[in-house]
Every structure is written in C-alpha cells, then in structure tokens.
Structure 1
Amino acid sequence: MSAMHWNENTQSVAPGVCLLPVVHGSAEYAVIVRHLFLEQPPGLVMLELPEVAADEFRLAIAHADHIPVLALQQHASDRPEYLILEPLEPLIEAARSAFEMEINFHCVDDYGSFSGDWVHDFLPDTYALWHMSANDYYAAVLKQFHSSTGETHDADGVARSAQSAQADEIKRTFIQSIESEAITDDQTRRVKTIDQRRELFMSDRIRNLLRIYGQQYDEHRPALIVCGMRHASNLKQLIVLSEDEFQSRKAAAGVETDPLFDAEAEPLEIVLNR
C-alpha cells in the first residue's frame, strides 16, 4: 500500500482541517484510517454517523471488539434501524482509534435522513488502494461522478503518487471498472434531496465544532473529518462558506439550526471521551 502520509490520503479543507473521503465497509480504508492515527494523531475527529446516538455510540465503541449493534429509533413506535459497529467500517475504526487515544470524536450526521445501508456505494473494489493512494482513488471516482452526473466536484490538490508502469496499468483497469459501476440518473435524483439536507446538517455541526475546539487542533494535530466519498466535495465547499452565505443555503433548504449550538443556549460542556 502507498506510504501512509496525510497529504497523500486526506483532502485539505482549511488550515489545520483535513477530510478523509472513504468507501464504507472497505478494509483498505479502515487500514488507512488506522495508519493516519498512528502516524499523526488528530486533535479532533468528526464522523458521518447519526448524532442522536452519540452517547450510546461512545459506550458501545469501548466494546468494539465484540461487534456491538445499536438499535436506532427516534420514537418508541418507530421501527428500529440497526447500526452494526463493523470493525472493517472506516468510520468505526476512526471512532475506535479516537477512543483508544483519548481524542474527542463527534457524530455529525442527521438521524432523520441517515441510512446505515452502506452497501449501495456503487463503487468498485478498493483493492486498488494497495497500489495507489487514497487521493488517487478519490480523483478517479470524482472523474466518473462528474461524467455520469454532470455535477462539478473539486479535486484540487489531489496527489498523483503511483508512477510505476504496474501501478499505471492498475489505475487504467480501475478507472474502467468505475465506468461499469456508474451511478444512474435515477439513483442520483433519488438521493440528491436527502444528501443535500444531510450535508447541510453535517457541515453546520462541523463548522460549530471547529469553532468550539479551535484551541485543540492545528496543522500538527489536525481536525479530521471522515465521511463517505459521495459527501466529501460538497462538505468541503459548505464548511468554508461565509456565515451569511451558509445560513442562506440552510434557510433555502429548510434546515433548522443545530439545537446543540443555538446561540441562545448555554455553552457546550466539552467532555473527553474516556
């Protein structure tokens, strides 16, 4: 696998803030997450997991070796949705590593539109990561997303580290496999509205967490955001918007202010996950 360096495997969002786009359920990405924590522990970790279950999730992650299962439901009459703390899920590995190293981690997703059905990523085998960096993989996926959906995605700063003839051939084969897994227009339309709300909710919480924990992360101990590839590009853009523009987008989409960070509320008490 490529050398595990932050600049090869993560996307820069802002000074001291990095984002790791992952493929859910990928052992290779779980390994990348672990190596990042061992190489340079982050100062803060934010995960694409439902915030409503954050307290229960922190209790369960201490027993991750036993693969616990959380039953999520907002109301007693709701049919529960089960979240398996699968060791090979990169988000779970990020939480487990943060817990082990006593690093603050937060779940930032909106439960109302969250789906734990991560098998429908429509992405090819991540075995290619043994021959290319995570940023190379992400760039190839963005290229196909752009061609299949017509949307613009930011791939600036993507490293191109694998230069050998063997690695180039693997890349060509890999990109061809992406083309065969292209996301259809129907699938894109089906998830677009849900994804927009989720991304606004997640970016709102991330922006507030970055303000609150401003003294706990920097370029040497960066804040790390771990999310699925489908959300990475939009999150990067939303996180760095001006406050006025961001609030305007929230209002247009009907996304309410995050109750944990209401300006009228008492300051949030910061508790280490120990």
Structure 2
Amino acid sequence: MPHRLYLEQFGNIHALPVLHYRMEFAHLVRQAVELVQPDCIAIELPPTLEAPFLRGVRRLPEISVLTYDVSTASLLKGKVADGGAQSVYLLIEPADPLVEAARQALERDIPLHLIDIDLDDYPLHEEPVPDSYAVQRIGLAPYYREFAAAFASVAPDREDLRRERGMTFRLQQLSRQHQRVLLVCGMYHLARIKAFFPDPQAEPLAKVKREGVRLFNLHPASCREILGEFPFVNAVYEQRRGEFPPEPAGDGPSLRKRFHALELIAGGKQDIPETEALSLSIARSVRLVGCRGEMPDRQRIILRLFMEAARHFRQETGEPVHVWQKRAFFRFARNCALLDGLLLPDLFHLLSAARGCVDDNFAHAFFRLATFYPWQKETSDLPTISLDLADLWRQSRRIRFRPRERRRGKGLSRLAFLNRKREKGPGEWLEGFDNPSICSYPPEDLVIEDYGRFLKKKGAKQLSEEQCRVEPFTVSMLDGIDMRETLRNIHEGRIYVRQQERVKGGVGSVVVIFDEDRRGDRYPYLMTWLGEHAQESDMAFYATPPEDNIVGPGISRCEYGGFVLAYPPRRMLDVWHTGDYSFARSKSEVLLLAALDYSLEKHVVYVAARPPRSYFKQLAARFGRKIVYIPLGSLSPVRLKHLRVFHVLAGHDKRGIARDYVW
C-alpha cells in the first residue's frame, strides 16, 4: 500500500476521507482505485445532479460550472423572508477528489453512484482545517486522526445528520449489491457514517428531481480567481494524469519576439504566442514536481512556478531575479503562510511576496503564469459563464499590480504599455535592419552621460576623503572639527580636527561593469560608439545581441554587460579589435585598458562588483594614472537597473518613431 494512503474499512466499504478541491486528495483517489479495484464507486454528491455533473466530467480538462437556484430564505434558515433566489455553483475541475473519483469510474467503466441527499437549507460551513500539504509529508492516516480528534467535540447540525444517515442508507444498499465499494467523502462526515453503518437506516426524505440545473463552460478569465486550486496547480495535475509531455529543449520559448541573425538575413522570424510559451512552461514543470506515479509535491510546484516566472520576467524586461531576491521571496511567503496557519503559502501570499521582494513587473509575470489554464477556451459546446469571487465566496482579498510603464504627458493614458504598437504583419519590424548605420536613442544618451558625471563627482569625493588627514587639536582648527573621530575618542577628552589635502588631477574616464561575463557567451555584442557632439563622450561597451529582442521597426532592446565613457569625443578607435589590448583576460579588462589609454585626467573611475587585478594598478602608474574603485553594491540598484537597458536604432530616421516603442 502506498505509504500516504489510508482507508477506513467497515464491512465491504473502503472509505477514503478527503478535503474538497485539494490536489493531494485527488491523487489519493487514484491510488485508492488502484489498490481497492472496486466494483463500484460512491461519492458525496446528490443523484439529482448526476447527468449534468457527468457531462461536465467528460468535458475535462475543460472546466465546467454546474449551477442551480435555491431560495434565499431557505439558505439563511428563515432570517430573510423575501423568498428570493440565490444561485449555487459547483466547479468541476481536475484537482478535486470527487471529480477525480468520477473520472476514474468513467475511464475504467466502473459503476458510479452519487449517494448524498439534495437539501435546499444546508448552511454554509467554514471550518478551519489543517493544510493539505501535511498529507504529502506525514501521510493520510495521522492527518485524519488529528482531524477527527479536533472535530470530535463539535456537535453536527441537523442537516449534516440527515445527509449522513441518507448516505449510510444508500451505502448499505450498495454493500449488498457489490463486493468492494469505494466511498469518497468529506472527512467531517466519515466517522458518523461509519458509526451509523451497522444499524439499519430508513430511506431519507429528499428531492428525487431538481429543476433548473444548468451546466456552463467557465470563462478563461474567471479561471484566474475562483478555482479551488489555482490554475497552475490544476494544469500540472492534469498533465501528470496521462503521459508526460516531451521535455522542451533549451530554455524554452520567450514571451517576447526573438530574432536570430540568420533569420534577419533571410527575412524570417520566430514568433511564439504567449499562450504557447505559458503552456510549455507548465510542460517543463510536470516532470520536476515528482516521479511518475508519485503525489505531486506542492512545494516543488511553487518552486517551479517561481523559476518559470523568473525566466519569463528576464525575457520580458532583461532583468534577472537575483539569488537574494529568491531567498527573500520564499522567506516572506513562508512567514505569511505561518501567520494564516498554513504550511505553504497560497496564491495571495505568493503574489504579495513577488511584488514585495522583486517588483510589480515580476508579480504580473508570476500572476499570468500561475493563473494560466491552457485548455480553457472562450467558445465551447456549452454556453460560457463569467464568475468572480463575490459569486462563490463571502470573503476575498485583492492585490493590485502597477507594472512599470513609460512616463507620458499630462492628460494621456498612464497604461501606455497596454496599448503599445504591434506588428501589422509578420516580419514588418525587420524592414529597417537593412540599413548599415546604427545609432543610439538620445534620451538614453542624456541619462548615461548624466550618470557618468555623477560617478566622476563620487570618485572625486572619494579621493578627497582618502587624502583627508585627522589629528588632535593643538594650535589650529585646520579645516574644521572632525566630529566622528572626536566622539570615537571622547574618553581622551580631546578634540580632533581634519585637514583636507588638495587632490591633484581630475577624473577622466569612467568604467561601469555590471557583469564580467567570464564565460564570454552572455554578452557577445561588442561595439564602439563615437560622440555625436561636444557634450557627448565616446563609448565602448559589450551587451546582449540586438537581434534577440526586436521591439519596433528597426528598434532593438539590449542590455549592457559593461561600458566605458571617455571625454572629449571623436578620439576612440575600435577597442575590441586592436592588438594593444590583446593581453586582457576579459571584456571588462579591455574596457579598463581603454579607459586608462584615453583618459586625459589622472584618475579613472572603475565601478564593478570587485576591484581589478593588482597588475592594473601597476599599469596605471606607468601611464601616470590612478584607478578609483567604487563597489557596484554601493550604488542604487534601482538606478542601475534603469541604466542598464538601452536601445539600438537602425538609422537616424528611427529616432522620430522610437518614443512609441521604447518603454
């Protein structure tokens, strides 16, 4: 017997206690059917819903909604006597154990019986139950024992007793007709059904037919918020029911348009719809959440969801999700779950962590993947219905995303990224790439030149602080009192003053290294640009290939790995193909050598995650230069994130239209 499975047995009844709409229990139903090999399957639903329910089960993996109306006065037990009607909804989704039991019966040609009784006045229950993920770790037997002990002192309602006696009566009939009966019912009812089973029960008084039962196809947008298990979990479970999909090659498709050099020459392109990219992300996750036949591990599902969302986020924005952000994400989500008494976070906790630990763009990418269900269509053989949380649940929580958008003038739409221009026809945006000249986008030039001046000032200030001399006050105040040193040595009872030494020589070139790219394959695009006027610097950089992300006609989006700025302009040769720098071990060292070579001032600012090799300090001294190192971590990560992205335009004529495509 699988170690996580547990069955209550009384007579020839094998009963599986479940929680509704939980993936772990849906998997246990499959294990129970394999183990028991039942002659019939009984589930906790009334027979008045059998025909539409089975039709909805046959439609799977498309999700259906079964609905009927009951009187409001009956639901509220007479508190409201308006005699109105309220709709009751039953979701037919893959990860529900009752639905899985019905699917197993239909697929294996086993008789299926719906044994519950149909009540109009059944009250709403909101019992707190343990997190279903505990079944994955400790198994069903100890989980059910703790559940039964916790609810042993809770007195059942009159309606619960009616239902349980009615189900017991029908089970007694089935036990006389079949040798092995598999019962799938809620944990809350099983103990009393077992206790009632040895005694003869009377046939219950209940509806034998219900009018107005309807079956609808659920709108894809409604799947995002009302399913018992969020769509990514349902989709992974559904795919694991059958043959595993083939493993996608490489890193999988991108959510953005990707072009390759040969395709650019041939005039072709690779355009992958977003739905296909999201579907393949689900397929990539199916094999990684547990071996074939094992219960899907919800913790691994959340991990794969995070990793796939991070991949799409990088493809969309060019920004990676760092290890410290991943660590903060899971710590934050865990703490949120613990505050709500859960072992693992739910979708709301995950989205809150995604927004708080990364940014709104990542949270939006996470949301699109987590709430994507690939089989659901807007048109179907049934009428389509749209529902929201207010239709099914009395309480809900909302979360808002504010993805980063391009700033616009007053009175214009702030959601410009939703209305970005698209290609009118395949290959339209490739037309501008036959122009041999390329140029930059002027607003981005202003930003990077301004940041270069900021780094020069920061480097000069750091040099000044390095040349500062502090000494006890004797006869002169020099350049003023050094409060920090005075407080540090307050026990001496002396005042310390500081003398600012004059720094000889200014700051010339600036080097910024975001990623050293030691393997040499991440930033293959090498370029040297000359300043177009006296206020611009010459620039050399290495970056991602322009053909990897086309965002407009003749407009591509790139990401810097590193760059150097040298002023005045129109002096820099192609630093990447000169033999003078052939001894450099990496692209970052080539840029540093160029900075030392072209700087007219004594000092060169070098910004990177770690300082250059000591050899370069000796080399700089031979040139009469000095390297001022600024750690990359000491600068604003938000500012660096915006600075790192730039656009390459295939010709000056693209500058007039670039503002409609750059964001």
**For 1:62, what is the secondary structure of its paired residue?**
helix
Specify the code of the residue in structure 1 equivalent to 2:90.
Answer: L
1:125 aligned to 2:74? no
Specify the code of the residue in structure 2 equivalent to 1:82.
Answer: Y
**How many residues align structurally?**
197
1:29 to 25, 30, 49: 25
1:83 to 90, 113, 116: 90
Offset at residue 71 of structure 1 (A): 1.4
Structure 2 CA distance for partners of 1:21 and 1:143, relative to 1, 3 Å: same
Specify the code of the residue in structure 2 equivalent to 1:235.
Answer: I
Q: Residue 10 of structure 2 aligns with which residue?
A: 13
1:83–1:116 Cα contact (<8 Å) kept = no
Q: State the percentage of identical aligned residues.
A: 28
**For 2:119, what is the secondary structure of its paired residue?**
helix
Specify the code of the residue in structure 2 equivalent to 1:19.
Answer: A
1:109 aligned to 2:105? no
2-structure distance, mates of 1:114, 1:9: 33
1:96 aligned to 2:103? yes
Offset at residue 91 of structure 1 (A): 0.9
1:5–1:36 Cα contact (<8 Å) kept = no
**For 1:123, what is the secondary structure of its paired residue?**
coil
Q: Residue 154 of structure 1 aligns with which residue?
A: none
2-structure distance, mates of 1:111, 1:224: 21
Q: Residue 193 of structure 1 aligns with which residue?
A: 158
Structure 2 CA distance for partners of 1:4 and 1:23, relative to 1, 3 Å: same
- Higher Cα Rg, which structure: 2
1-structure distance, mates of 2:187, 2:113: 19
Offset at residue 72 of structure 1 (A): 2.8
Specify the code of the residue in structure 1 equivalent to 2:52.
Answer: E
1-structure distance, mates of 2:175, 2:123: 25
Offset at residue 13 of structure 1 (A): 1.2
Please list, as runs of the form range in 1=range in 2, the aligned pairs for 1:62-77 lying within 5 A after superposition.
62-73=58-69
Deviations 1:184-213 (A, max 9, x none): xxxx5xx511101111111122222323x3
Offset at residue 109 of structure 1 (A): 1.1
Across the aligned residues of Structure 1 and Structure 2, the Cα RMSD in angstroms comes to: 2.8
Greater fraction of residues in helix: 1
2-structure distance, mates of 1:100, 1:203: 26
Offset at residue 78 of structure 1 (A): 4.7
**For 1:42, what is the secondary structure of its paired residue?**
coil
1:143 aligned to 2:169? no
Specify the code of the residue in structure 1 equivalent to 2:94.
Answer: P
2:26–2:96 Cα contact (<8 Å) kept = yes
If the length of structure 2 is used for normalisation, what is the TM-score?
A: 0.28
1:256 aligned to 2:263? no
2:30–2:100 Cα contact (<8 Å) kept = yes
1:12–1:18 Cα contact (<8 Å) kept = yes
| Long gaps (5+) in structure 1 | 150-187, 261-274
**For 2:20, what is the secondary structure of its paired residue?**
coil
**For 2:138, what is the secondary structure of its paired residue?**
coil
Specify the code of the residue in structure 2 equivalent to 1:45.
Answer: I
1:61 to 57, 62, 72: 57
If the length of structure 1 is used for normalisation, what is the TM-score?
A: 0.64
